[in-house]
Structure 1
Amino acid sequence: MRKSLSERVADWYSRYFPDAFIFALVLTLLAMLFAVLFTDSGPISILGYWFEGVPMLFTFAFQLIITYAAALVLVDTPVMQRIIKKMSSMVKRPTSAYVSVSIVGAVTSFIGWYIGPIITALFARSIGQNVKGVDYRLLSAVSYASFTISLTGISGTIPLFVATEGNFTDILGGIYPLQATTFSTLNMVTAIAIVAVTTTIFYVIGKNKKDIVTFHDLAIKHEGETAAAIETAENTEDILVQKGSISDKINNFRPAILIIGLLGVVYLFYFFAINGIDGLNLNSVAFIAIILGFLVHKNPMTYMDSFSKNITATSSIALQFPIYGGIAAILIQSGLADKVTQMIVSVANETTFPLFTFLISGVINMFVPSAGSQFTATAAFIIPAAEELGVEIPRAILSITYGDIWTNLVQPFWALLYFPILAVGTRLTVRDFLGYCLPILLAVGVIWAIGLTFLPL
């Protein structure tokens, strides 16, 4: 069987690209080496930056762990499985699966980067389980690639950062609302183009796919190793033994969890009535997932049992986020990120500056895959340079934003948002699907390069 080009590229990627954890370790060593060679920081100082940076993303990591564990617990109930299966049952063909996941993922991610991955991964997983002939590796790649426009959306870190009074307001020369960035002509046109082009690419790849590896091919079938979420109702419904003691009756008393859930729903209505869509953030999304889980689970003990089972699926987040915090600290505190930025700025002009900024931000993102950290590291030099060259400040801001997102298509850090849901109960690894994102990397790069150079704000 002769494989298509996309399949051969994905096979090559899977064969030679290391596991996401190894990738993070290699980047740590490279960051240390480059900092020693190209900055005035000594080895002990660099190790100190690393030591101080590892805890930098502890809070962020814990927020994601709770959010994803609570989301898995939420779907680990017969009622939620029936709802998800009903949604996915509308998809009948493999090509329709790839297209629908791409569109659902793009729309939900644009609304909220912390919402899109959960909804998209759950939707894709259900489709993978129920639609015959769907390659689960490719479907996982579609899910992840749909995240591309997330940080250009209404929850984007950098657009929200520059729209808020803060430390960079003076450097920026004022506040830039979302109308100047997220809802600009440049951003909206490129976002629509990216969704259309990437969906078409995945449709073509899926239509010509010859080597099909389904969800069930990847599922762990050993005794005692069933998937923790979105399995059949018979596999997931926990039946606890009632021993008849007072403590057992209290433990299995549903009103104990139901009342708390209802109180949470009451406050959420009040909260969003006051804050509107601006109230959506990682904390509120985690709260929603927990409260909804309280409402649909049988009793406190089934909830605890499910949470204990599903928390293990978030181990990759717990381990790798601190590692990237250390890398970010090395680049920022050693001044290495500043040197790279200044080098690019020194050779740019008004026309090429946005493109250069986009490219260098993409390179830095391989080491610092956090929009906030990267903007902090580069904005102090890029924004004044843009002003000096006569480049519109919103265009410079979007150049950093696009570069920060672009190389996520080959940088496995943000794949950790999808992996706990997509891979639980299977042998799927990040490198199994990241190779399918390589043509998307090229297409998105061209779209953003053209947009930054020629499209008006």
Structure 2
Amino acid sequence: MLNRIAGRFSKGVEKYLPDAFVIAVLMTLLVFVLGFFMKPSEPIELFQSFGDGFWVYLAFTMQMVLLLMTGMALASVPAIGGGLEKLASLAKTANQAYVLTFLVSSAAYYINWGLAVVVGAIFAREVGKRNKNAHFPLLVACAYAPTALYTAGLSSSIGLTVATKGHFLEKVMGVIPTSETIFHPGTITILFALVITMPIFIVLMAPKKGIIAYNPPAKLPELDDKPSETVNTPAARLENAPFLGIVTGLIGVVYLIFKFINGKDLDLNMINIGFLSLGLILHKSLFQYAKAFKEAASAISPIILQFPFYAGIIAVLQSSGLGESIINGMTSIASKNTFDIFTYWTAGLVNILAPSGGGQWSLQGPLQVPAGMKLGVEPSVIAMAVGWGDAWTNLIQPFWALPILSVVGLHIRHIMGYCILLSIWVGIITTVLMIFVY
């Protein structure tokens, strides 16, 4: 029954849901209209905040671009590709393909969400190549679905922020150790409940007919100077010499080892340097690495185009007071026993408009924490409620799906029907468990 509902729902979403860029523009116009109602006497402030905020994500955008391109270039190394093929070949049936893709992506999300973006996308593609009975849009949804779990992982932006001495809310809530947030028994309980039940829900949604198998995109033209591979000139020998890539890659490896020894945590910059260094070492030459990098370039245009719009949206939310009104309106009716639930729901709603864990915490934390503490709610519970809400509606927010979709060559409409149904399930499970575990 669920697979029939999912099939019809997915087809409806594919028919009526526009492209992700159109969604970003529509959301921009929506926050402007609502912002005008919030501050009708100061409309120019909205334009100014949007223009100033438009550039806030430039560094993050470049990080994501490099993450995808270095990750895909690394995956094209024969040894890495062979390992992925071997792991992907473990899925003999369509249901096994869905579950295996979900679990591999979940493990990557637990380690680091940035790592998971590349691992999940590439693994879904590899499984799709080998299992033509698997519905590829659902397979990609499986790779993306664990984004709902990331707040319980080792790279939880809110959990790590409040555990850092000197964070911007330290005077209000103090420094909260990770034992009270991401390693809290309640957090672990919700994490395991979702990891167990989400694959079951996915399998029940799986279509029995109308299967869309993976269809590899057409390859880009070769580099114009490809003949230099076989020409015996000084320039060609340098281009094809393995030692240049190995030596350069080792510089990055030494840097990473030094940073880890000195207590540096894994972040996007560390992952990018790691991917880049390993790619340089493992590819046969700089020429081969440049070729792999060029082939990966076609995946990044949606990110470059759309991320600045979301940065502008977040800026308008803050300057117009719209974000503050949403937060205050929902939590004003909460009691001590329901505050974490209302915080979770509020965070889920705000995340649809402001899809950034760190950005959302800077918007929601200063309002949510004092209000909850006044009711006697532990600040660690408030932080995790915001984190779970942020992760929850990532499932229906195109912002975080863009990198994965870029790698696999699908549009948001192809997976969103399944993601919406999954988000309903995640919302129910998390809401019910939060009543008992925090």
State the TM bucket, normalised to the shorter chain: over 0.9
Structure 1: distance between partners of 2:99 and 2:138: 11
Question: 1:231 — aligned with what?
Answer: none
Does structure 1 retain, via aligned residues, the 8 Å contact 2:220–2:295?
no
The change in CA–CA distance for 1:439 and 1:70 in structure 2 (over 3 A counts) is same
The structural deviation recorded for 1:86 is 1.5
Structure 1: distance between partners of 2:424 and 2:29: 27
Structure 1: distance between partners of 2:75 and 2:332: 52
Does structure 2 retain, via aligned residues, the 8 Å contact 1:242–1:249?
no
Which runs of no fewer than 5 residues in structure 1 stay unpaired? 229-233
Does structure 1 retain, via aligned residues, the 8 Å contact 2:148–2:388?
no
Work out the percentage of aligned pairs sharing the same amino acid. Answer: 30
Partner SS state of residue 115, structure 1? helix
The change in CA–CA distance for 1:3 and 1:201 in structure 2 (over 3 A counts) is closer
Structure 2: distance between partners of 1:227 and 1:126: 19
- Name the amino acid aligned to 1:84: L
The change in CA–CA distance for 1:3 and 1:273 in structure 2 (over 3 A counts) is closer
The change in CA–CA distance for 1:36 and 1:430 in structure 2 (over 3 A counts) is same
Answer yes or no: is 1:319 the counterpart of 2:291. no
Structure 1: distance between partners of 2:256 and 2:39: 49
- Name the amino acid aligned to 1:51: G
Structure 1 moving runs of 4+ over 6 Å: none
Question: 1:448 — aligned with what?
Answer: 430
Answer yes or no: is 1:250 the counterpart of 2:243. no
Between 1:369-378 and 1:113-122, the stretch displaced more is 113-122
What TM-score comes out, normalization by structure 2 length?
A: 0.94
Structure 2: distance between partners of 1:166 and 1:328: 24
The change in CA–CA distance for 1:436 and 1:41 in structure 2 (over 3 A counts) is farther
Does structure 1 retain, via aligned residues, the 8 Å contact 2:147–2:394?
no
Question: 2:355 — aligned with what?
Answer: 369
Q: Within 5 Å, give how 1:346-361 maps onto structure 2.
A: 346-361=332-347
- Name the amino acid aligned to 2:232: G
Which runs of no fewer than 5 residues in structure 2 stay unpaired? none
Question: 2:277 — aligned with what?
Answer: 291
The change in CA–CA distance for 1:383 and 1:454 in structure 2 (over 3 A counts) is same
Partner SS state of residue 358, structure 2? helix
Partner SS state of residue 300, structure 2? helix
Between 1:341-350 and 1:127-136, the stretch displaced more is 341-350
Q: Within 5 Å, give how 1:25-40 maps onto structure 2.
A: 25-39=25-39
What TM-score comes out, normalization by structure 1 length?
A: 0.90
The change in CA–CA distance for 1:149 and 1:327 in structure 2 (over 3 A counts) is same
Question: 1:436 — aligned with what?
Answer: 418
Alignment partner of 2:286 out of 300, 317, 320:
300
Question: 1:46 — aligned with what?
Answer: 46
Partner SS state of residue 322, structure 1? helix
Between 1:119-128 and 1:250-259, the stretch displaced more is 250-259
The structural deviation recorded for 1:77 is 3.1
Question: Cα RMSD between the aligned structures?
Answer: 2.0
Q: Within 5 Å, give how 1:44-443 maps onto structure 2.
A: 44-206=44-206, 208-216=207-215, 219-220=216-217, 225-226=218-219, 240-275=228-263, 279-423=265-409, 428-443=410-425
Structure 2: distance between partners of 1:353 and 1:48: 35
Structure 2: distance between partners of 1:40 and 1:392: 37
Does structure 1 retain, via aligned residues, the 8 Å contact 2:161–2:167?
no
- Name the amino acid aligned to 1:443: W
Structure 2: distance between partners of 1:141 and 1:3: 15
- Name the amino acid aligned to 1:296: L
Structure 1: distance between partners of 2:376 and 2:62: 42
- Name the amino acid aligned to 2:386: I
